[in-house]
Structure 1
Amino acid sequence: MSVASGPGPADPQGTSRSTSATIQPNILRYLVMVADERGVDLRPLLSRVGLDETLMRSAALRVSYRQGSAVIRRALELTRDEHLGLKVGAAQHLTAWGLLGFALMADDTLRHAIETGVKYQNLSGAMTVWSTGQGEDGTFVLHADLPDPAIDPGVASFLIEEGFASVVTLSRLAVGPAFTPRAVEFSGPAPRQIDLYGALFGCPVRFGAPADRIVIDPAWARARMPGRDPVTYASTLETLDTQMASRHDQQDLLEVLEVSVAQSLPVIPSFGEQARRHATSERTLRRRLADCGTTYEALAEGVRRERVEQLLLRPELTLRDIARRAGFSDERALRRAVRRWHGTSPVQLRERMLRGMGWTD
């Protein structure tokens, strides 16, 4: 089985990759398009999380897992469409993946193209963690996992459905409209309307399964890609490897800074102090963060937001305790921040989080 890393779970030192801006916003771009078709304008929402229209048009833009999840959660509320993930996935094209999409089109077989996509998934804008394997009957199996087990259930369903719909849609664009998986399996419960799943996937769809996966017949897995070109494929992979190395460097920088902020709370180190800690100039550090698509202020706020959410899960702590530990001047400042992040009060957010984890009735 081959596995490529995605956004990780909570770091033992008090932060997680969910605050790092390392994800290409492909899903969000198509989400805006699909929401527009339903008369819902998500642009004001994007602006509130720091993603204005100019940034969204930038090929260099990266968003954090937390930013993406917040937009998806609100989009589900605004559209009231529990099948939004299916529609966003079905609207996509290989060109949305940029150079990686070009590499997939030049690959040899459908199976190898999917394995290439999994290998370079950190460059594709994926918000799930993909892996591949082989079934006992010789089938080719594509697995999807969520990087954060505590993710909002609605966002979780959206991400899995978006991922599966995009895989099937892009496979049909690559090898022909007749492509259908042998089976599609969701670990979540069956929705109210299941006819949409059969219509989209064209195969048996199972809910309440042990894992989220797509099962593909060997014959389809061996299907030749119409645009296969070994020379183009090899040269494109060289560029992708360079991008992956750069992405790892960016992730390392962001994670080191996040850990530094998390360990210093309730005090947030100044930008100048961070530059001194990393033996670099403020100008160089600011440029490196810009290359990552973020700022020190946004990174520090993301860490503080995560700390607040962790503290809210401890019922014995008062809002005053949480404000002090997260570096807020008082409870009012904490309330304003939580309202900005979640559109609700700290008390209501705490109740929702504890209820979601089964700690309250």
Structure 2
Amino acid sequence: MLNGTVSARMGRFMVDAACQAGMDPARLIRLPDVGDTVLADEFARVSTPTALLLWEQIVLGRPAVHAGMHAVQLAPMGTFGVWDYLLTSGETLAESLRTGCGYVTVIGDPSTEKLHVTDDGRLFTVTHSTGPAEPDVVAAVEQFVLPLINRRATEGLRRPVVPVRVTFRHRPPNTLGPLTDLLGTRNIEFGAQVNSITYLAEDAHAPMPQTQPGLQDVLRSHADMTIASAKPVLDWHGTFRITLRATFHDPDLSLASVARRLALSPRTLQRRLGELGTTWRDEVEAVRVELAMDLIRDSDIPMRTIAARARFSDARALRRAVHRWHGTTPGDLRRRHEHPARPGREDGSAEPPTDPPTPDPRV
């Protein structure tokens, strides 16, 4: 039941981080499962597609290589409730991390966020994997999770804990300084098979100074209750619409691929859409319009990039569509929305209509 969702605590954190990165508050109104009432409910669950849309806003507002690291700095101890304390209250760091990684469901999406622990008596390693998304979003999530675990390790032991090795699947950023400063090591590998953080046994098996007998049992019971009482917020159509938008960048986007993500057969998905008086083509067009307009109004990215993300053949096709929808140009819409001047264009104008065409993926 909890697959495809994250906790309300994670939702609150993502909303705050996205707003600090410059997300237009008006956009939050269009996300139905991150309203104040929802986020105030400890047992509510926010859809993973909504969380990914918030990550996109964080990446848009921050340099992509720094988005995840900046998010870690916004997450002091206690931000994620019982999960934070599971990570820091065992007899040793190894026991704490093993328990916290086993309870990733209490905070994240159990179908996409995977944490695994290995301990050979000499080295203690936590590996992490996440689900599909835009490459810059995946990189941001990867550079959030492992540094967050390292921050909790340091907070739990009440002293700096320096990993002996960290690996990431994504490509290296242009600058490594912020990441090495955050992790305390230069032994970082990119383009690896897995995301991982490794500690020496002497750190992993060091006693946690705030350990109290029986506390982990109490915390696990609370985590179990939280999971058992959790309730996703969105109805079926809301989940479908956000899932469609979150997968809009996939080259193989199709009714069948979205049905697979929703654990439905293509025929069942068609039938449910028909029951709502809509069709796959109508839904794709609605998301195309919504995505294009959001990116035009709320970002500084070039028109050719917006066209590709919204599945137009090229920027000229996007401009024609905007004129058909609103009787104006993308540049005029941006100026009306009072964006600050964009890099390279002091007047904030859109790019000239000479962008190279982008192939139109089949939908």
TM-score class normalised by the smaller sequence: 0.5 to 0.7
Return 40-49 or 113-122, whichever deviates more: 40-49
Q: Cα distance 1:330–1:183, how it changes in 2: closer, same or farther (>3 A)? A: closer
CA distance in 2, matches of 1:92, 1:31: 10
User: For each residue in 1:65-92, what CA deviation from the matched residue of structure 2 results, as whole angstroms up to 9, or x when unmatched?
Assistant: 1111112113312334431101112321
Q: Which residue of 2 aligns with 1:295?
A: 235
**1:144 paired to 2:128:** yes
Equivalent residue of 1:97, what SS? Answer: coil
Q: Which residue of 2 aligns with 1:131?
A: 116
**1:190 paired to 2:172:** yes
The offset of 1:95, in angstroms, is: 1.1
Equivalent residue of 2:310, what SS? Answer: helix
Q: Which residue of 2 aligns with 1:3?
A: none
User: For each residue in 1:147-204, what CA deviation from the matched residue of structure 2 results, as whole angstroms up to 9, or x when unmatched?
Assistant: 33xx210110011101012111111111023211111111211111111111111112
Q: Which residue of 1 aligns with 2:148?
A: 166
Q: Which residue of 2 aligns with 1:73?
A: 56
Q: Which residue of 2 aligns with 1:349?
A: 310
Equivalent pair of 2:8/2:38 in contact (CA under 8 Å):
no
Return 79-88 or 206-215, whichever deviates more: 79-88
Equivalent residue of 1:161, what SS? Answer: helix
* Equivalent runs, 1:320-339 vs 2, <5 Å: 327=274, 328=278, 334-339=284-289
Q: Cα distance 1:62–1:346, how it changes in 2: closer, same or farther (>3 A)? A: farther
* Equivalent runs, 1:39-50 vs 2, <5 Å: 40-50=22-32
User: For each residue in 1:293-323, what CA deviation from the matched residue of structure 2 results, as whole angstroms up to 9, or x when unmatched?
Assistant: 2334423534666898779636xxxxxxxxx
Q: Which residue of 2 aligns with 1:221?
A: 204
For the aligned residues, what is the CA RMSD?
3.7
5+ residue gaps, structure 2, are 255-269, 296-305, 314-356
Equivalent pair of 1:45/1:71 in contact (CA under 8 Å):
no
Q: Which residue of 2 aligns with 1:177?
A: 159
5+ residue gaps, structure 1, are 1-5, 8-16, 248-290, 315-323
CA distance in 2, matches of 1:171, 1:199: 16
Q: Cα distance 1:36–1:64, how it changes in 2: closer, same or farther (>3 A)? A: closer
Counterpart of 2:100, as a letter, is G
The offset of 1:101, in angstroms, is: 2.6
Equivalent residue of 1:141, what SS? Answer: strand
CA distance in 1, matches of 2:172, 2:244: 36
Counterpart of 1:146, as a letter, is T
Counterpart of 2:129, as a letter, is D
Q: Cα distance 1:302–1:190, how it changes in 2: closer, same or farther (>3 A)? A: closer
Equivalent pair of 2:83/2:106 in contact (CA under 8 Å):
yes
TM-score normalised over the length of structure 1:
0.67
CA distance in 1, matches of 2:127, 2:116: 5
Counterpart of 1:133, as a letter, is T
Equivalent pair of 1:128/1:145 in contact (CA under 8 Å):
yes
**1:94 paired to 2:69:** no
Return 104-113 or 237-246, whichever deviates more: 237-246
Q: Which residue of 2 aligns with 1:206?
A: 189
Larger helix percent: 1
Q: Cα distance 1:94–1:298, how it changes in 2: closer, same or farther (>3 A)? A: same
Equivalent pair of 1:42/1:75 in contact (CA under 8 Å):
no
User: For each residue in 1:28-76, what CA deviation from the matched residue of structure 2 results, as whole angstroms up to 9, or x when unmatched?
Assistant: 43344445555x1453333222223443333233111111111211331
TM-score normalised over the length of structure 2:
0.66
Aligned residues: 285
Q: Cα distance 1:61–1:340, how it changes in 2: closer, same or farther (>3 A)? A: farther
Q: Cα distance 1:196–1:63, how it changes in 2: closer, same or farther (>3 A)? A: same
CA distance in 2, matches of 1:313, 1:87: 31
Counterpart of 1:165, as a letter, is P
Equivalent residue of 1:173, what SS? Answer: helix
Equivalent residue of 1:94, what SS? Answer: coil
Return 177-186 or 110-119, whichever deviates more: 177-186
CA distance in 1, matches of 2:225, 2:15: 30
Q: Cα distance 1:27–1:87, how it changes in 2: closer, same or farther (>3 A)? A: farther
Equivalent residue of 1:125, what SS? Answer: coil
CA distance in 2, matches of 1:104, 1:55: 26
